[in-house]
Amino acid sequence: MKNLTTIVQLGKSGGDAEITIDVLNPKGVIDKVECLGLSPRIDGLEGKKIAFMHNNKAGSINLYKVLEELIRQRYPLAKIVHGYETGPINPPKDPDMYKKAAAACDAFVFATGD
């Protein structure tokens, strides 16, 4: 962030002191974010491991109960993996949670709820 420096003269006589004021540029600087796009779809759910990720709010847990039941009915060989959680407004307790889920599972569903 670039600062603007202003020197202000106090008083009317030449013997008065000068002070310097640093003024911050309110625009700031925003770093460019790399866009990764979407991953390709998997070929189906039968026999796949599906991670259920959520933000620990009650609505997401209720949604997952129903969704898990539907998946088990339609895809009995699919495996649902639980335990990938964040806080309502916090990042995951384990910073490598997403990497671990990607390595252990074929797909994931992330839900938020209230």
**Cα dihedral 52→53→55→60 (10° resolution):** -20
Measured CA to CA, the distance from residue 11 to residue 9 in angstroms comes to 7
Q: Are 2 and 25 in contact (CB under 8 A)?
A: yes
Residue 100 domain flag = yes
Q: Is the model more confident about 78 or about 112?
A: 78
pLDDT at 1: 46
Residue 45: DSSP 8-state? S
Structure tokens at 69: 């039941």
Number of domains in the chain: 1
pLDDT digits (tens, 9 = 90+) for 7-33: 555 555 555 667 777 777 778 778 888
> Which range, 1-10, 17-26, 93-102, has the best average confidence (pLDDT)?
93-102
Structure tokens at 106: 């074929």
Residue 68 domain flag = yes
**Mean of all residue pLDDT scores within the chain:** 80
pLDDT digits (tens, 9 = 90+) for 29-58: 788 888 888 888 899 999 999 998 887 777
Tell me the residue range of the domain where 66 lies: 49-111
